[in-house]
Each structure stands twice: as C-alpha cells, then as structure tokens.
Amino acid sequence: MERMCKYAVLRYVPDDIREEFINIGLVFHSPEDAYVNLQLTTNFSRVSQFDDESDVKFLKLVLEGVKDDFTQSITDGPSLQQAKDPKFLEKATSIYVNQLQFSPIRTIRSRDYLKDEIDLFRTYVYFDPHKSKRITDTEVKSIMSRVFRNHEKNISGNLERNVEVDIGAEDIKLDFAFKKNCKAQFVKTLSFDYALRNSKKATQLAKEWAWNYEKMLKDKYKINSNLITEDEFDIVTVIYFKSENKNIKAALDILSEVSHIVEATNEEKIIAFADEIIGTISAPISN
C-alpha cells in the first residue's frame, strides 16, 4: 500500500556565511509505520577533505547524540506516539542551526519505505572513497536522473528527458525540460573535469553549445513535446568542474552570456540543483 513518507538530509556546514556544506546523513520518517531512522556516512575522510580544520573525533561524538534523537530503540529515540506524528521531522530538525543542519523536508510517496530509504541515502550521502575517475557529461546527467527517479511519482508528467530540439541547421539534444512560471526551462549538463593540459577542451565545448543556444534564442526552434508548448524559455547549463583555471573561467564566461549556469564543484551541488527542480515541479501531496 502506498504511504506518504518524509526525509531530510543532514549537512555539515563549517561556515554559514560561505553557504557551503557536505551531506553526511539522511533521516527518514514513515508516520503510518511509526518508523524513524537516521543513517550516517562512514566515510569521514570526505569531511576532512572538505574542511581541513574539522575535528572529526568531536564531530563523531556529536553525531552519536544526533543519532540517538532520531533512531528508535528501547532506551532512546522518538516514542511510538512521536513516530506516528506526521510533523515529527519538522519539530525535531528545527533545532539544528549551527554546524549541523538539516535540509528542507521533502515528501515522497512510497510502496516500500525501507527500499526507498536506502535509495535516498545512496543518492544524497553515499560516496565511494576509492572513486578517482573523472566525472563525464553523462555522469552529471546520471546523478540528476537518479534524484528524479526517487521522486518519479511526484513529478510524473512534469519533466521531460532527452529533449530533441530542431534549431534549423541540425537537431540538438538537451537533457531535461520542464515549466516554471509559464516559461519553458531547458537543462543541459556538461563536465569540465579535465586535466590541466586538456582544459582548453572546455572553451571549445562552451563555444559549441553557446552557438547552439544562440540559434535557439534568435531563431524559432522546433520541439516535438506535449509538455513544452511555451514560446518563452530559459536555458540552464549545469557544469561540473573540480577547480577553476583560466580556460575553465573562459568557458564559464562564454556560456553565462547565453544561459543561466549552475556551477557544481562537487556531486552534492548537482544533487541540490536536481532537488530544486523537484521542488518546482512536484505535484502537491496532502497529509
């Protein structure tokens, strides 16, 4: 039977002013099943890499207390009555405002809440510490697609994938399309994750897509879509890169002239943007 569940991502925020954070846990709540659980990362080397001034031993100690607050047991955690309260997460997460903060609470329709909890944790928190290969355009798109799949029932009919656009000289393929404020929104994912010696490829790729965008903006584009019918549109380019050099900066400048750009220097920022889209297009869910 389908039920309404909620979740929030636990973030380590070393400096509120910089608005930078890293995902370190996920709390999941199924009120109908009186189930609450918090899963935490085991890869604290990521935290050290993210913030070299962090005290990981102290952080682990603090997280033990946080886990007690959200994990049911005989002696600790929420009571059965609290676990059945649909507003439990709103109440329990609101007190975390310093270096440990929770993301806005999201709602998901679930037929298998334990499986969905695992899938969400893998999407937002899980990270293979041995992964060293470079992230490609396809993988940036795949990360966003994974987030969308976890919310398929909420966004069904409001998101189009692999959008073919006729710009006259040729057909181009954009990764996602949706509607926002009565305007079409087209999303293209790119990766500038190059070794320094190859970073000139970023400017070449940027020029190619800037030309495509200009054709869309200046000429009447054609698209076969039941979802996208608006004449007005925005183009968003999601760009992954680990660090900026003069070639990467030049590429970003080129694309920013013809599109809105989302700079993603880690996977969390890719996920956060996908999450933002979900918030825009999700169908409302009643309690």
Residue whose entry in the numeric block shows the structure tokens 């087209």: 186
What residues of the chain score a pLDDT lower than 70? 73-75, 127-133, 283-287
Buried/exposed 77-104: b ≥16 CB within 10 Å, e otherwise = bbeeebbbbeebbeebbeebeebbbbbe
In this prediction, residue 133 carries a pLDDT of 65
pTM for this predicted structure? 0.66
Q: What is the pLDDT of residues 143-161, one digit of tens each?
A: 999 899 888 888 888 999 9
Residues 6+ apart with CB under 8 A from 189: 137, 140, 141, 144, 175, 237, 238, 239, 240
| Cβ neighbourhood burial of 71 (10 Å; 0-12, 13-18, 19+) | middle
In this prediction, residue 139 carries a pLDDT of 87
Q: What are phi and psi of 174, to 5 degrees?
A: -100, 155
CB atoms within 10 A of CB 144: 23
In this prediction, residue 127 carries a pLDDT of 62
d(CA 15, CA 101): 11
Locate CATH 3.40.1350.10 in the chain. 137-281
Domain 137-281 matching CATH 3.40.1350.10: the answer reads yes
